[in-house]
Amino acid sequence: MDQPNLPGEEEPIVAGAVPEEVEGAQPALLAEPLGYLMTVLRSGANGQLLEFTYLEILVPIEDLINTLTDRQQLLSIVSFLEQDVHMYQLRHVPNPQNQVQIEPPPPCLQAEADQTLQILMRTHRERYTDFHFELMDEYLNLLIHSEDPQDRAHGMSVLLQHLFNTNGSALESENHRIDTTLALCSICQDDYLPSDGIIVLPCHISHHFHRGCIETWLLTNLDCPLCRATVRLPQRVLRRPS
């Protein structure tokens, strides 16, 4: 099936190919973001992903991106390019061809790309929030199951950061309204100290553990120790009131 072109192109981009427009007559409005994308393509960093109009991970919101200007469409690719490349690397067995690291965009281009995402979030809040939640959930799942210790540690850190974090004092105050016997970690069975860092899982308010205990558990079992519900990124964290 033929793939559509990148905004502003005459022919589809394939790995190693450089459109004539980029070399010469590319309109100034598109030259900067498209030039950056072509630089990444020349580096060999999973260039086959750029055969997609909006990157593979952006296909679920193609219709939203179609509402943007050509330049903004390119900027949306710039915004997600690094994550797209990293997710591709996480899905495949490492080799020299798929482990090329990409250079980040210039600060001014990154700032404009961030503004483009803000436009999408403001005009299509619910659709974008749902898309972002699913994307981040998949990304964290890939990180946590990666064979690279640094990826696993990063994924676990991000997951724990987005779960409900509290401490012993706050949890004890909450539990007095429920059951005063609940102020202990269900993994190590030790009572919480006031200063202990505690994680509450989304499955139930009573499923709480020392941060260190649940981190160790989740590295080998991505589910709740009590009810076995899969631990995922809480969608409520990414939703904001309109």
For position 27, what pLDDT does the model report?
A: 57
User: 70-91 vs 28-43: helix axis angle to the nearest 10?
Assistant: 10
CB 84 within 8 A of CB 55: yes
- E strand intervals along the chain: 164-167, 197-200, 208-210
**Type of residue at 179:** D
Q: In Å, what is the CA distance from 149 to each residue of 68, 80, 153, 213?
A: 39, 23, 6, 18
For position 208, what pLDDT does the model report?
A: 92
For position 240, what pLDDT does the model report?
A: 39
The closest alpha carbon to 218, from 195, 189, 193, 187, belongs to 187
For position 97, what pLDDT does the model report?
A: 62
CB 70 within 8 A of CB 29: yes
pLDDT-derived band of residue 98, with 50, 70 and 90 as boundaries?
low
Q: Is the pLDDT of residue 133 over 80?
A: yes
What is the tens place of the pLDDT at every residue in 102-118?
Answer: 788 889 999 999 999 99
Helix, strand, coil distribution of the chain in percent, nearest 5: 55, 5, 40
CA angle 43, 48, 49 (to 5 degrees): 100
What is the tens place of the pLDDT at every residue in 10-66?
Answer: 333 333 343 444 344 345 666 678 788 877 767 766 544 444 556 788 889 989 998
The dihedrals phi and psi of 145, each to the nearest 5 degrees, come to -100, 10
Q: Where are the domains of the chain?
A: 20-123, 155-238
Rounded mean pLDDT, 172-187 = 63
Q: Model pTM? A: 0.65
Residue 202, helix vs strand vs coil: coil
Classify domain 155-238 at the CATH topology level: Herpes Virus-1 (3.30.40)
Rounded mean pLDDT, 140-159 = 87
What is the tens place of the pLDDT at every residue in 181-227?
Answer: 567 899 999 988 888 889 999 888 889 999 999 989 988 888 999 99
